[in-house]
Amino acid sequence: MNLPNMKEAKIRTNNKVEHINLENNIPNSFEGKKYFLRTYGCQMNVHDSEQIRKYLEEFGFTVTEELTEADIVVLNTCAIRENAHDKVFGFLGRCKHLKREKPELIIAIGGCMSQEESVANEIKTKHSYVDIVFGTHNIHELPNMILEANKKLNINVYSYEGNVYENVKYSRDSKITAWVNIMYGCDKFCTYCIVPFTRGKQRSRKMENILDEVRELKALGYQEVTLLGQNVNAYGKDLDESYDFSTLLENVAKIGIPRVRFVTSHPWDFTDEMISLIAKYENIMPYVHLPLQSGSDRILKLMGRRYTKKEYLTLFNKIKEKIPNVAVTTDIIVGFPNETEEDFLETLDIVNKCRYDSAFTFIYSPREGTPASKIKDEITYSEKESRLQRLNEVINKYSLENNYKYVGKIEKVLLLGKSEKDNSKLYGYTETMKLVNVITNKDNIGKIIAVKITDAKSFSLDGKAI
């Protein structure tokens, strides 16, 4: 394999980001062996797992869903919530038991959690049966680490900010929709968020490389690409180039893949040009995920979110006004340290004004090392739970109300597979990202078809192919 030398990589300067083309040449040395891969967390991790899976499959491993059958177990972890730690270490207990019966089993842990120094130390001192700990910055080194596994615990987590790797190969989950990573890390440093620490500072890929990847996906028949990053609309700001996210989005749309999406956006970086592009191009989907986090100016300031309630509402209204039939979803955190009832009512107020299509709602979870985790919090957990419940009732009311507006309409739905709830139906998504369970012929998987919406629930629609 042509990889950067590990020792050299570790002492490289913190500031200079290099764009490195990967040339992988993985020996087929595990033919007949099985891998078990578990992914925790966000879309970024799901996409990273597609890269991990590609390496494992090139080695000759085949997938198993049965832990006891595995010859290698890879856990791709998440650090966003506090309970993620307990989940991963609980699962590791099962792996330890298995390794007693099968000493040649390789156990590897990667992802955001392994970037935390305390976790690496905990593994070193209490879980030395683990073979490999790799970070988010060096997934490409996993093959070398696997080849050297079972000699001693190999922890290789870069503490520096990481580079940009191009020509990464993936074993993608789907042959219909694909994630396309456009950047790594984040520079926003919201005070509650661990991401800038676990994934490093923002590093954008070069636009031509991204466009090549999208062209390749189009040639393979993909119907949808989602441009992926922690804060996609800040794309390019770290590059010494004249282009930005709007330039990239327009160029991707021009390639002509039927559906283009992007996630996630920060309201602070959302430009008028982006709004015009979504309105102009039929293949840029009318769906925007616009994280709010809180409706209180006091809390937004403590969170370091860089916008006020008024500025958020102005942006929201502009998006609604300029993009026909757009759906907007959001993220909201309740119970940020010392959030008062008045602060919470400000959040409810903005939710009542925006009437979101749906929202991911969370109770604030302190992450060690972040500024917010140092704030002494006087609010009880039961109060936070009660606020979450009150918030969810309002969110669900508007989700249902918005979904009912679709009943009787004809929507274009991209069908992805059999519905989990009812195997006689297929499931897919409207342009506005509404989940639809559709009565139709199973030959339609992978196609965009016209569907008449017959019923609505809070989290999905029912429909019939026409």
Give the residues lining the site for ligand SF4 (CB under 6 A): 186, 188-190, 193, 195-196, 230-231, 266
Cβ at position 81, least distance to ligand SF4 in Å: 13
The Cα 425–Cα 440 span in angstroms is 7
Among positive and negative, which fits the CA dihedral 18, 21, 27, 33? positive
Specify the residue, 189 or 381, whose C-beta has the smaller distance to ligand SF4: 189
Nearest to 392 by CA among 328, 325, 342, 459: 459
Cβ 348 to ligand SF4, closest distance in Å? 21
Q: How far is the CB of 269 from ligand SF4 (least distance, A)?
A: 9
Identity of the residue, 193 or 359, whose beta carbon is nearer to ligand SF4 in the bound complex? 193
Q: How far is the CB of 293 from ligand SF4 (least distance, A)?
A: 8
Q: How far is the CB of 200 from ligand SF4 (least distance, A)?
A: 11
- The alpha carbon of residue 201 and the mean position of all alpha carbons in its chain are separated, in whole angstroms, by 17
**DSSP labels, 160-211:** S---EEES-----S-SSEEEEE-EE--S---TT--HHHHT-S-EEPPHHHHH
Between 291 and 463, CB nearer to ligand SF4: 291
Residue 43 or 460: the one with the smaller Cβ distance to ligand SF4 is 43
**For residue 54, which amino acid is it?**
K
Q: How far is the CB of 375 from ligand SF4 (least distance, A)?
A: 17
Using a 10 angstrom Cβ sphere, with 0-12 exposed, 13-18 middle and 19 or more buried, the burial of residue 406 is buried
Q: How far apart are the first and last CA of the chain?
A: 52
Q: What are phi and psi of 336, to 5 degrees?
A: -60, 150
Report the residue number, 109 or 186, with the smaller CB distance to ligand SF4. Answer: 186
Of 19 and 188, which has the nearer Cβ to ligand SF4? 188
Residue 225, helix vs strand vs coil: strand
Q: Shortest approach of ligand SF4 to residue 114 CB, angstroms? A: 18
Residue 231: CB minimum distance to ligand SF4, A = 5
Cβ-based nearer residue to ligand SF4, 134 or 307: 307
Helix (H) or strand (E) holding 50: helix 43-58
Instruction: Give least dist CB 328 to ligand SF4, A.
Output: 17
Q: Which contiguous run of DSSP H or E holds residue 274?
A: helix 272-280
Nearer to ligand SF4, 154 or 231 (CB): 231
Alpha helices in 305-360 (DSSP H): 309-322, 341-354
Ordered strands of the 287-289 beta sheet: 287-289, 327-334, 358-363
Nearer to ligand SF4 by Cβ, of 9 and 193: the residue is 193
248 within 8 A of 227, measured Cβ to Cβ: yes
